[in-house]
């Protein structure tokens, strides 16, 4: 709901918002520019009487003196029957330059206030301000949800690309945007009578005036008592009319001054409502607060980028979720389908089930597992279809499911069935689905059908499961879904570096380039058939299709597309089909591969320390992160191999990164050297330093085999104990990430 609230209005109004924001940013410069052009005396240095005396000496036909919100003083005068206006120096009364409001700023202001459309445009601008307010509030709540709480709001983000840019910029700009949106909405609401307006009324003309001979303006007592910093406007009396008076406005109120006696004849202080109104205007425009204007302007400039990245996030999510037609409302649905997926294949199966149940006459609601509701009032069937990731962990769209399950209240009539999707080559086959099944059972919910596990997206197994479920619900379900294999790109091996033969750990760093022109519409249009790699980052996965139609195997990427090369680090497994195939490759050979994004395994931004831990080929993505650390944030690498002579992967590169400070410190452990240590031992030796880094908010990223990962986790648990925290807590905060195989 929060996401829809943030996404839909944002998309609809992005164009108007960008116009409002860019024009607002330009207008925000005006107060600072006005101030730079003006001479501003210190408070208490010049009184209004002194100012008026000096101005009149240079402008005998002065009619009015005005001090603008930015402090510039303008005199309006009449010389030889012709009116004029000059910006003046209040210290001398001399003119600085003719005063002419900029036609450009006036046009920008009209565009900002009304999109150049008079009252209809003003109304639209008001609506946009309210939408911006809604976006800011929903955005703040999303940020809080993403960082894991209000206290964690300033923590570095994990993730990459548009999503990260969107979140980082939003965090920087949201308070400024919130202030602009709030004050803009207030001003619009007042203009259209939705909020009461407090008109600025002055006192009535004085009934009695001395009518004596006018005294020089510089000697008038009431004007001597007003400091320039409080002054707003002085209107001069008609020449040769002894009954006329000076009309004076200050920040505190307005009144009249007798031109002969200099006495303040009538004075009316400004009402509280009018002062508040003026504050709202100043907070919106930066008038009189030039520094705030610059801050608001900088915040407004982020709106075009926020709009573009926001639309791209929305578009990607929409594409990946594949809009489900006839998706019933949660409150109405009789059958609920919850999907846990990382790479989206499980969603295809869920859509098929949705369509089939719909055809059978059920009102069906389908959503991701993270969106588990507190309860489903009308539902009698709950289907959970989920894949498993990492090492038996939840996929991205199900990571918050277990936490949300504690608030879930299942109706007595509700029956559930879990269908796991996984790959039996992983030791923890469909483990997350098994965990979910166990958790639902321990909530006391009744089972419709015992859990079934689908291996490698088997269409036959899925169809058989559908037949069984159909029998149980009394309506045949004919489920038929065979996911398309992902589109692959041809990659040509350009370079390889081989290690570890002497210590029975043959490991190769393989570097590929694109072997054919990009396929998508964009690449063709932009690159006119040049051979370009698809977008990816270090830590993403390369799916490799081994020959003879076997299922894809995944390898962590050690480079980013911006490096111009696709790099993986592969250890040859005994009897390993795909690793053996890759190890046979020679430069010039080609493979078919596809990218699977893995945004959950990325170092956080910001200056908090990053502790990278790996062993063997697990060093690949970790080196990719270090290579990208051009901002020289503190990064510590703990890595374990067998022998420094034989399998010290990336040794020359790591030396260079230490020298140029992309890598802060390197700690290696070699198990077949004299010291015979593992990476866990090095961590234990360094426990004080590691603990201190965790205290400072460090993030830990582990990459490599599961035995090493289990050993590392045990040591880290021990290190964390005195801090009264544990790996699970760090994991929940996005500070303990694993890529294990």
Ligand X SMILES: Cc1cc2nc3c(=O)[nH]c(=O)nc-3n(C[C@H](O)[C@H](O)[C@H](O)COP(=O)(O)O)c2cc1C
Contact status: 263 vs ligand X (CB under 6 A): no
544-563 residues in contact with ligand X (CB under 6 A) are 554
**Looking at beta carbons only, is 90 or 392 nearer to ligand X?**
392
Judged by CB under 6 A, which of 159, 286, 343, 600 binds ligand X? 343
Judged by CB under 6 A, which of 16, 105, 408, 429 binds ligand X? 429
| Minimal distance, residue 501 CB to ligand X, in Å | 27
Distance CA 506, CA 622 (A): 19
**Looking at beta carbons only, is 282 or 345 nearer to ligand X?**
345
Tokens encoding 70: 């930015």
Contact status: 654 vs ligand X (CB under 6 A): no
Contact status: 342 vs ligand X (CB under 6 A): yes
- Output helix, strand, coil percentages for the chain, rounded to the nearest 5: 40, 20, 35
Judged by CB under 6 A, which of 94, 227, 263, 391 binds ligand X? 391
**Looking at beta carbons only, is 34 or 393 nearer to ligand X?**
393
**Looking at beta carbons only, is 10 or 340 nearer to ligand X?**
340
Contact status: 664 vs ligand X (CB under 6 A): no
Binding mask 672-691 for ligand X (x = CB under 6 A): --------------------
Phi-psi region of 667 (alpha: psi -120 to 50; beta: other; left: phi over 0): beta
Beta bridge partners of 19: none
| Minimal distance, residue 647 CB to ligand X, in Å | 23
| Minimal distance, residue 526 CB to ligand X, in Å | 28
Distance CA 490, CA 534 (A): 11
**Looking at beta carbons only, is 404 or 596 nearer to ligand X?**
596
- Segment near ligand X (CB under 6 A); pick from 168-176, 427-435, 461-469, 488-496: 427-435
| Minimal distance, residue 433 CB to ligand X, in Å | 8
Tokens encoding 59: 């402008």
- Segment near ligand X (CB under 6 A); pick from 73-81, 110-118, 286-294, 335-343: 335-343
**Looking at beta carbons only, is 369 or 541 nearer to ligand X?**
541
- Segment near ligand X (CB under 6 A); pick from 101-109, 156-164, 284-292, 382-390: 382-390
Contact status: 321 vs ligand X (CB under 6 A): no
Judged by CB under 6 A, which of 247, 388, 560, 629 binds ligand X? 388
Distance CA 441, CA 444 (A): 5
First to last CA, the chain: 36
**Looking at beta carbons only, is 48 or 454 nearer to ligand X?**
454
Residue 686, CA distances (Å) to 335, 690, 715, 716 in order: 54, 6, 11, 11
Contact status: 389 vs ligand X (CB under 6 A): yes
Judged by CB under 6 A, which of 9, 310, 392, 593 binds ligand X? 392
Instruction: Find where tokens 């960008």 sit.
Output: 18
**Looking at beta carbons only, is 395 or 704 nearer to ligand X?**
395
Nearest Cα residue to 76 out of 187, 235, 213, 269:
235
Distance CA 69, CA 230 (A): 10
Contact status: 345 vs ligand X (CB under 6 A): yes
Q: What angle do CA 81, 87, 90 make, to 5 degrees?
A: 110
Secondary structure in 3-state letters for 569-586? EEECCCCCHHHHHHHHCC
**Looking at beta carbons only, is 290 or 536 nearer to ligand X?**
536
| Minimal distance, residue 631 CB to ligand X, in Å | 28
Contact status: 609 vs ligand X (CB under 6 A): no
Nearest Cα residue to 582 out of 498, 708, 643:
498
Diameter of the chain measured on Cα atoms: 113
Judged by CB under 6 A, which of 68, 71, 422, 624 binds ligand X? 422
Contact status: 601 vs ligand X (CB under 6 A): no
Contact status: 341 vs ligand X (CB under 6 A): yes
Query: What does residue 73 show for φ and ψ, rounded to 5 degrees?
Result: -105, 130
Judged by CB under 6 A, which of 262, 297, 395, 593 binds ligand X? 395
**Looking at beta carbons only, is 309 or 341 nearer to ligand X?**
341
Residues 6+ apart with CB under 8 A from 354: 324, 327, 337, 364, 366
Distance CA 572, CA 551 (A): 17
Judged by CB under 6 A, which of 367, 387, 560, 608 binds ligand X? 387
- Distance between alpha carbon 456 and the CA centroid of its chain, in Å? 34
Tokens encoding 490: 């041809």
Contact status: 184 vs ligand X (CB under 6 A): no
| Minimal distance, residue 552 CB to ligand X, in Å | 8
Contact status: 461 vs ligand X (CB under 6 A): no
Nearest Cα residue to 385 out of 329, 451, 319:
451
Distance CA 81, CA 574 (A): 101
Phi-psi region of 538 (alpha: psi -120 to 50; beta: other; left: phi over 0): beta
Contact status: 187 vs ligand X (CB under 6 A): no
- Segment near ligand X (CB under 6 A); pick from 231-239, 283-291, 425-433, 631-639: 425-433
Judged by CB under 6 A, which of 249, 344, 559, 608 binds ligand X? 344
Helix (H) or strand (E) holding 408: none
Torsion angle of the four alpha carbons 495, 500, 505, 506, in this order, in degrees rounded to the nearest 10: 30
Instruction: Say how many C-beta atoms besides its own lie within 10 A of residue 196's C-beta.
Output: 8
**Looking at beta carbons only, is 246 or 432 nearer to ligand X?**
432
Residues 6+ apart with CB under 8 A from 74: 65, 66, 67, 68, 85, 86, 87, 88, 99
Instruction: Note the residues at the interface with ligand X (CB under 6 A).
Output: 341-346, 387-392, 395, 421-423, 426, 428-431, 457, 541, 554, 596
């Amino acid at each position: 709901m929060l996401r829809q609230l943030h996404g839909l209005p944002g998309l609809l109004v992005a164009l108007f918002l960008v116009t409002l924001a860019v024009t607002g940013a330009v207008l925000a410069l005006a107060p600072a520019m006005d101030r730079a052009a003006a001479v501003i005396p210190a408070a208490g240095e010049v009184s209004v009487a002194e100012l008026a005396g000096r101005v009149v000496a240079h402008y005998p036909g002065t009619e009015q003196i005005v001090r603008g919100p930015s402090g510039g003083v303008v005199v309006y005068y009449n010389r030889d029957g012709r009116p004029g206006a000059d910006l003046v120096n209040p210290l001398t009364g001399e003119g600085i330059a003719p005063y002419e409001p900029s036609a450009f700023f006036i046009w920008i202001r009209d565009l900002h206030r009304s999109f150049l459309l008079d009252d209809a445009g003003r109304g639209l601008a008001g609506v946009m301000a309210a939408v911006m307010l809604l976006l800011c509030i929903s955005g703040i709540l999303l940020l809080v949800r993403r960082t894991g709480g209000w206290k964690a709001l300033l923590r570095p983000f994990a993730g990459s690309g548009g999503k990260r840019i969107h979140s980082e910029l939003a965090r920087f700009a949201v308070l400024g945007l919130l202030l602009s949106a709030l004050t803009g909405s207030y001003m619009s609401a007042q203009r259209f009578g939705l909020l009461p307006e407090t008109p600025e009324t002055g006192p009535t003309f004085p009934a009695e005036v001395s009518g004596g001979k006018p005294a020089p303006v510089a000697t008038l007592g009431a004007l001597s008592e007003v400091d320039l910093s409080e002054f707003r406007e002085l209107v001069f009396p008609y020449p040769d009319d002894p009954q006329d008076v000076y009309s004076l406005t200050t920040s505190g109120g307005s009144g009249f001054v007798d031109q002969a006696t200099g006495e303040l004849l009538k004075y009316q202080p400004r009402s509280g409502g009018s002062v508040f109104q003026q504050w709202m205007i100043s907070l919106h425009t930066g008038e009189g607060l030039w520094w705030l204007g610059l801050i608001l302007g900088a915040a407004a400039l982020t709106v075009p980028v926020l709009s573009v990245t926001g639309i791209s996030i929305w578009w990607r999510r929409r594409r990946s979720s594949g809009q489900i037609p006839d998706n019933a409302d949660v409150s109405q649905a009789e059958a609920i389908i919850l999907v846990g997926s990382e790479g989206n294949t499980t969603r295809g199966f869920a859509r098929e089930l949705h369509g089939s149940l719909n055809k059978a006459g059920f009102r069906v609601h389908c959503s991701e597992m993270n969106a588990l509701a507190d309860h489903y009032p009308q539902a009698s069937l709950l289907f959970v279809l989920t894949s498993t990731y990492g090492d038996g962990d939840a996929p991205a769209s199900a990571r918050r499911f277990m936490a949300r399950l504690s608030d879930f209240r299942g109706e007595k009539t509700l029956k559930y069935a879990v269908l796991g999707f996984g790959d039996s080559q992983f030791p923890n086959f469909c483990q997350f689905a098994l965990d979910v099944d166990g958790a639902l059972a321990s909530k006391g919910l009744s089972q419709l059908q015992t859990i079934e596990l689908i291996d490698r997206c088997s269409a036959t197994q899925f169809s058989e499961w559908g037949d069984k479920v159909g029998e149980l619900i009394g309506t045949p379900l004919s489920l038929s879904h065979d996911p398309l294999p992902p589109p692959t790109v041809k990659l040509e091996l350009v370079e390889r570096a081989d290690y570890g033969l002497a210590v029975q750990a043959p490991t190769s760093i393989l570097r590929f380039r694109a072997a054919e022109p990009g396929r998508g519409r964009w690449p063709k249009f932009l690159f006119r058939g040049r051979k370009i790699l698809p977008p990816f980052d270090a830590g993403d996965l390369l799916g490799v299709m081994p020959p003879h139609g076997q299922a894809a195997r995944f390898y962590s990427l050690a480079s980013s597309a911006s490096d111009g090369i696709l790099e993986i680090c592969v250890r040859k497994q005994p009897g390993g089909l795909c690793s053996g195939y890759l190890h046979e490759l020679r430069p010039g050979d080609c493979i078919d591969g596809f990218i699977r994004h893995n945004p959950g395994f990325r170092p956080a931004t910001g200056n908090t320390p990053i502790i990278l831990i790996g062993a063997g080929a697990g060093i690949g993505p970790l080196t990719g992160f270090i290579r990208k650390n051009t901002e020289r944030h503190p990064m510590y690498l703990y890595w374990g191999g067998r022998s420094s002579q034989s399998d010290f992967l990336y040794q020359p590169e790591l030396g260079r990164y230490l020298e140029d400070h992309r890598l802060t410190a390197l700690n290696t452990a070699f198990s077949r050297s004299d010291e015979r240590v593992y990476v866990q031992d090095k961590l234990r030796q360094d426990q004080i330093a590691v603990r201190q880094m965790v205290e400072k908010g460090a993030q830990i990223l582990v990459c490599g085999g599961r035995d090493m990962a289990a050993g590392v986790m045990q040591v880290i648990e021990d290190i964390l104990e005195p801090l009264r925290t544990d790996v699970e807590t760090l994991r929940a905060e996005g500070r303990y990430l694993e890529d294990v195989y």
